[in-house]
Structure formats: structure tokens, C-alpha cells
Amino acid sequence: MNALTTWQRLLPVAALFTLAACGQGADAGGSGDDTAAPAAEDVVYRGSITVYQGVERDSAELCAVVAESYPPQCSGPPVAGWDWDAVEHEEAQGVRWGTYVVAGTFDGKAFTVTEDPLTLDEIDLAEHPELQYAEPEIGDPAEELSGAELQAITDELVDRFPALVFGGYPDEAAGVAVVDTLLVSPELEAYAAEHFPEDAVAFAPVLRPAE
């Protein structure tokens, strides 16, 4: 693909695409107790994201990364319960897409909407700071890791959770791997806690648990 790939960002002054980031690195390290993480289907995630359906695809998909082409190109987890007739959207060459505020659950395979989606024109972003971009919160890493080791963490999570993790980078100054993810599922959080030093991972999710 020669199209330029871009991360979505939803900013107050430009209601475009979003990568709403919220650091969860402090929790990712785990506390060592045996408290079970909540089931994935019990967590409702909310945020602004592109929903897309290609010509030969059976369902709409969530796209955290979108190629700048016309029509755009992207892929992601399928969206259950999506109705294009119920939302405003763009369409070209058999492709349908739009950017929406969505809320729903994730069962490890599909995202199921639990509320009616909203277009960006239907909300006042000033009243919803949780939808605006925020830098990931950085904890105090328990171990000092090299840039290569931090990059290896990101690479492992991309390989292990391809439906959720789509990139990241080593923040050597802070000593953490900043991991870009669609959302932080209980399984992803538990895996990071088990396999990496405490506070070594700072997640930057597009969709965050609804309050």
C-alpha cells in the first residue's frame, strides 16, 4: 500500500480523527495479587473512531489506523449491531465509512455496540474531555530497560494481540514502552502484568472504559 498511513486524532479545534490516549502502565505491571480481572464482555469502552466497511466485507469494522486514500482503506475488529442506515456516513466505490463516538463491549473477537453511535457534529467536545487527546500516564518503572528491550515489548504485544495493538514506541527518557492500542482488554492488561516489569508499559488506547 503506497497510501500514507495516519493515526486518528480528535482535537477540540479540529474535529477530525482521534487517538484518545490514556496511560494504564501503572496497572499493567500488576500488584501480584490473585484478584481476577473483570470479564471482557463486562467492560463498556467508549471513544471516537472510524467505522468502515469495504466492498467484500460482511460487516463494519473498527479502524484505529486509516490509510489516506479515497475511499480510505483500513481493517479492524468487526462491529456487531452496526446499522449503516441509522447513521450518517460517506460512501464511494461501494465503501462506507464515518467517524463516530461509539460505546460497546469487546469479547476478544468482535465489538458489540451498546449505545447509539454519535457523529462528531452531534456532541460538544468541550463538554467531553474524555474524548479529547491525552498523553499516556507514565508510571515509575520497576526495572531500567534499554530502547531495544522496550521496542521488543511493543513488538511482542503487536504479535500477541494483533486485533488490538497496532504500534508503539520506546520512550527511553521515561523508561517505558508506549503501546498504541484500540482498547485495553483485561486479557491484554493481564498479559502485560505477567510478562513485563511493573510500569514498563504505558497503554495509549483509542477506546477507554466508560465512566
- Any idea which residue has 508510571 for its cell? 139
Domain ranges within the chain, ordered by starting residue: 5-209
The tens place of each residue's pLDDT in the chain, 211 residues long, gives 433 333 333 333 233 333 333 333 334 333 334 444 445 568 999 999 999 999 988 999 999 999 999 999 999 999 999 999 999 999 999 999 999 999 999 999 999 999 999 998 898 877 887 787 778 889 999 999 999 999 999 999 999 999 999 999 999 999 999 999 999 999 999 999 999 999 999 999 999 998 7
Residue 23, phi then psi, degrees to nearest 5: -70, 135
Helix (H) or strand (E) holding 147: helix 147-160
| Distance of alpha carbon 210 from alpha carbon 85, whole angstroms | 26
Question: What long-range pairs does 154-161 form, CB within 8 A, spacing at least 24?
Answer: 154/178, 154/179, 156/195, 157/181, 157/188, 157/191, 157/192, 157/201, 160/191, 161/185, 161/187, 161/188, 161/191
